[in-house]
Amino acid sequence: MKKASFLFISVFLQIVLFAQDNNTSERSFELAKNLEIFSSVYRNIYTTYVDDIKEGELVKTAIDAMLAKLDPYTNFYPESNLEDVKMQLLGEYGGIGALIHQKGDSVYISEPYEGLPAYEAGLKAGDLILEVNGQSAKGKNSDQVREILRGQAGSPITIKVSRFGQEKSFSFKRKEISLPNVPYSGIVGEDLGYIKLNEFTKNAANNVLSAFNTLKKQNIKGLILDLRGNGGGLLNEAVDIVNIFVDKGQVVVNTKGKTPERNQSFRTMKKAVDTNIPIIVLVDGASASASEIVAGSLQDIDRAVIMGQRSFGKGLVQNVIPLAYNTQMKVTVSKYYIPSGRCIQAIDYSHRDSLGRATKVTDSLRTAFKTKNGRTVYDGYGIEPDVNTEPEYGSNILFTLVAKSLLFDYATEFVRKHESIPPVKDFKISDEIYDDFVSFLKDKDYSYTNATEYAMNEALDVAKKDKCDEGIIKELEVLKARINKEKENDIYKYKDEISEMLLSEIVVRYYNQKGRIEAYIKGDKETEQAINLLHDTARYKQILKQN
């Protein structure tokens, strides 16, 4: 019998024995009964099914199907996926420290992180990966290449790439990679601090504290904490970040679960670093979990103004539980409640519609709560910002240029022709550079359908199905041709947003991730609005109902 079969039977017997020892309750009986049924099905498949089965794969399929009935955050991880768990929780993995991306049948280095093995060895963005440790990368997708790039820290690796048509080999050792959770901090608006926090992984709070202390030495008058796109992480890091700005003893979050040990209160434990500096927290629809704890608790105690778009709405807490044979399970164990008493979980996974989809909490079921200063806030749908901003959406042409890696490819060519560029604050996409980019695109395919063109195609189809007058159909076809002609000018119509993305792709080649973020901030409208609000002390206080 294979290892997976022993694993299942071992776990099954342990649980059944537990249930039998506690069979005075109806739930224990149900547990034992259903496990016995499941075991009988599995055993009969194993012994009688006509074809050979992959025992471990079959059991994992059963487990995944069972967990799919719960919430998307409760997951089972076989031994082969332990690096993924480590990456999620700690932001660490064994590897080379570089982002990669796929274009067609090829995989490229897209961004080596400064100071990490790939960067130190000399790999550059735009390098086409040919081989990894003698294993060809040809025909492999990015996930497959990523799998062979990762490995135990200290293990040797040789990567052969093609750079501008020349083959190069780089040999070095993998390391334990810890991605920076604070990739950038600096001064904006001349006298304000800005901290970008990507993840709540290990040491996130210490890194935010270090960045903040450095900014304080520059006599900042306010702080922008950017949590946009931050999907969360470790709860204790969220509590410690709040503690930087809120004194000892403040409840940050309470958790409530099925069992008493899951009911906990997390408070600030230290003296705050600064309880007075004005703060704006930037959030968006991808700010979730620990991000919402920080934003929500600072909102509830009126310590910061929240700006952006409504956050994701994840009010669930997970624990990772070790299982037999180096497998693990991440399971939702409780819900969290921020200081006003509200839970901001947006989706009720215990109730599903006729198609089996979990339903959102309806507006009629949302409950009003009060902040420390008496402002009204609501549960059940993420963190609603104090200042709402309109999200910026890229045009269809920009999306196509990014998806087809044409901005990336031009940046690679740009680097080949330009040894250096001015500092980020001084560098811009000039008309000359943009015209050169347009020339670069002349023999490239970046065809796309914009919204107007799509609507016109629909109208034409409907007109033909309705057997409209031929004259009407011809007029529609003439209009379609005019729309297509106008679309040819999209490359200049959307010059500003394309230039912003092109600037980012070029700057990262010379100034790494910090340069990319600095370039982004320079043209970011939400950061500009946050700067203006922090400079408007009266309006800032009015929002928080401060004296």
Annotated catalytic residue, options 106, 289, 291, 297 = 289
Of 299, 381, 375, 392, residue with least CA distance to 345:
381
What CA–CA distance (Å, rounded) separates 223 from 215? Answer: 9
% helix, strand, coil for the chain, step of 5: 45, 20, 35
Of 493, 503, 339, 530, residue with least CA distance to 425:
503
Backbone φ/ψ region at 356: left (φ over 0), alpha (ψ -120 to 50), beta = left
Q: Which residues pair with 156 in a beta bridge?
A: 173
The amino acid present at 131, given as its one-letter code, is E
Please, which residues have CB within 8 angstroms of residue 506's CB and are 6 or more apart in sequence?
411, 414, 415, 421, 427, 429
Q: Does the annotation mark 300 as catalytic?
A: yes
What CA–CA distance (Å, rounded) separates 524 from 280? Answer: 15
Tokens 């700010």 map to which residue? 287
Q: Does the annotation mark 314 as catalytic?
A: yes
Provide the token pair at 27: 């739930």
DSSP-assigned states of every residue in 107-148: EEEEEEPTTSHHHHHT--TTPEEEEETTEE-TT--HHHHHHH
Q: Which residues pair with 255 in a beta bridge?
A: 264, 336
DSSP-assigned states of every residue in 454-481: HHHHHHHHHHHHTT--HHHHHHHHHHHH
Annotated catalytic residue, options 160, 202, 314, 487 = 314
Annotated catalytic residue, options 127, 226, 284, 300 = 300
What CA–CA distance (Å, rounded) separates 305 from 543? Answer: 7
Q: Does the annotation mark 289 as catalytic?
A: yes
Residues known to be catalytic = 289, 300, 314
